[in-house]
Amino acid sequence: MDEQIRALADAHRRRILELVRDRELAAGEIAAYFEVTRPAISQHLTVLKQAGLVDERRAGTRRLYRTRPDGLLGLKEFVDRLWSTGLSRLKDAAEAEATDPEKD
């Protein structure tokens, strides 16, 4: 999960994930959306791939990238646990306040 968080810390990589969420794109097609060099995009793709956030498929000399459906599952579960714990505490506090006869 730490590797995923580090990968997502960069705005370019988050944008790449959005671009390849619903369709495969070649590295060159992805690079066309940015004002950085193609080698920089390749480095971003490598980080995303190592973090398990994108899949790479070769088609001849092209490399096609697509978001891995389960790539963020561990991070999502972590956030869900934090969120549900916070909601549970909020619920308990609200119930305690509602049943406290000393409160107005």
Taking only the tens of pLDDT, the chain with its 104 residues reads: 889 999 999 999 999 999 999 999 999 999 999 999 999 999 999 999 999 999 999 999 999 999 998 998 888 888 888 777 766 777 777 777 777 656 55
In this prediction the pTM is: 0.76
In the chain, the number of structural domains is 1
The boundaries of the domain holding residue 77 are 2-99
The answer to whether position 9 is within a domain reads yes
The answer to whether position 82 is within a domain reads yes
The answer to whether position 93 is within a domain reads yes
Handedness of CA 49, 50, 52, 55 (dihedral sign): positive
The answer to whether position 104 is within a domain reads no
Q: What is the CATH number of the domain that holds 7?
A: 1.10.10.10
Q: What is the DSSP string of 37-52?
A: -HHHHHHHHHHHHHTT
The answer to whether position 13 is within a domain reads yes
